[in-house]
Structures are given as C-alpha cells and as structure tokens.
Amino acid sequence: MSRASGPSTTRRSPTLVIGCVLAGAIVAVAIVSLFWMPFPQDDTSGGRLAPPALPHLLGTDKLGRDLLTQLMIGARIALTAGIGSVALGGVLGVTAGLLAGFATRWLDDTISALLDILIAFPTLLLAMLVVAAREASLGSAILAIGLAMSAIVARLTRVLVKRVLAEDFITASRTSGTSWPRVVIEHVLPNIWPTLLVNLALQLGLAVLAEASLSYLGLGAPPPNASWGRMLQEAQATVLTAPLGAVAPGVVLVVLVVGVNLLADGLRDVADPTRRRRR
C-alpha cells in the first residue's frame, strides 16, 4: 500500500502541477531566448516608450529597446542566478553539514557558531562586500547568494545527519564493518535527500528574488544585461506614463517565484504523503 500512495499523491497534487506549469513556462521562455528573440538585445530602433503594437508586442522601454526581448533575456538571467546559487549553496552547505554531523563536539560547536554568524549576515551586505572585492556582475551575485544560502542548507543538513546517525540501522551497519564513507553513501544521503530537495527548491525562489534585488541596486549583472530587477529600477521613473515597463517584469518575477514555491510544496507532499493526508 505504501508504494501505491506515492504515484497517487503525485497525480492528485494540484500544487505540484500548477508549480510545474508556472515555472516551466518561464524555463521555456529562457530556453527559447537562447535560439530566438524578437529583436537584438541592443536594438534601440523601436522608439522611446512605444505602446504595445506590432512589431513590439509589449512596447519598448525608455531607450527604445523591445520589452519582450528584455523580458526573455531577464528570464535567462534569473534562472542562471537561481540555479547557480542553489548549486553553489547546495554543494557547500551539504559538505559543511556532513562535516558538522560527523564532527567531534568542539568542532561541531565551532561550525554551528560560524553558520549562525553567516545566517545572521544580511545577503545584501554580503553582496556588497563581494562586489567590492570583485565587481558588479552576475557571477558576483551568484557567489554572494550561494554563500548566504550555504549556511541555511548546512544547518538543515547537520540536523538531518545527526537524526539519521542516531538510528539503530546505522549502529548495525557499523557493527557489521561498514566504513563511514559507505555509511554516508548508502544510508545517510538516501535518507536526507528528499528533505534537502524540497529545501533547495524553496531556496531557488529566494535566490531569484535576491538576484532581482541586487540588480535593482546595481549589484547584479551590469548593462546591457536585462535583469528583471534592473528593468524595474529603470522603469520606476516612467511608471505613470508607461506602466507596462514596470508591471511586466514584476509579473514574470512573481510567476516564477510562486511557481517554484508551489513546486517545492508539491515535492514536499510527494516526499511525505502523510502530510497531505493530514491536511
């Protein structure tokens, strides 16, 4: 019966389906932008703040660039920043969490204290320090967001690892002569990855928002890259005369974040079917 509940939960999870549709639509736009865009990125021949009409379906911005083209490029940048930050934060966080979970008492306390300090450190301030050491770029934004995210992932990993290590089957495995690396691969990671996957999915939405915030402040991808955050910053001066320039990037940003959050919630239902039955 337990095996049958998994697929059934997946089919009946509306949040998972809606999340896949919303996030998948943005992913599809980003992929299409790699091969085709309505206009070149630096084309300013559309006229300043032109209203929606052919051939500019969403109009143009204050520089005469096609707004739809800018949104498509922004989707690519948002997903690159989000996935890159999650990958960096996941690798660093899981590694640190495993070390803390297996460490001696004093080393565990030291790592936990460092993680608490990093979690309390504002992401924007960390980004400013990274930009000061390097330069304002998409790579700097990914590095700053990934470092901030790694502390959250590491703390969760540490808790999950210690919980698994306290189980009887770990003691039995060690008694039978299994080495610690095999214990991690065969027992620890398979038991913690569902929870970690859900958490990383949630972190993806936060990373996208963080990248947009950094770009809004001028700490993200520099011009002519059309980040959604930068589009919002550039459109605020003309929001009353050409509101679509601010509304469009705001809407697609919300669609992506909501889609990712619903996807994470749906994954949580799949990973823990009893949670859905308790609702």
Q: Which domains does the chain have, with CATH numbers?
A: 14-32+63-278 (1.10.3720.10)
| Alpha carbons 183 and 179: distance in angstroms, whole number | 6
At residue 60, the 3 state secondary structure works out as: strand
Prior bond of 190 cis (ω within 30°) = no
**CA atoms of 248 and 125, how far apart (whole Å):** 28
Q: Is 87 within 8 Å of 95 (Cβ atoms)?
A: no
Query: For tokens 């690519």, what's the residue?
Result: 76
pLDDT digits (tens, 9 = 90+) for 42-55: 888 878 888 888 88
What is the total residue count of the chain? 279
Residue pointed to by tokens 């065969």: 186
Residue 215, amino acid: S
pLDDT score, position 64: 86
Residues of the chain with pLDDT under 70: 1-12, 271-279
Distance CA 251, CA 220 (A): 20
Six-digit token string for 47: 């006229």
The three-point CA angle 141-220-88 to 5° equals 20
pLDDT of residue 43: 83
User: Which tokens hold the place of 217?
Assistant: 């402040």
Q: How is residue 197 written in tokens?
A: 């996957």
Which residues make beta-bridge pairs with 53?
Answer: 56
Which pTM was predicted?
A: 0.85
pLDDT digits (tens, 9 = 90+) for 95-123: 998 888 888 788 888 888 888 888 887 77
- The pLDDT assigned to 2 comes to 35
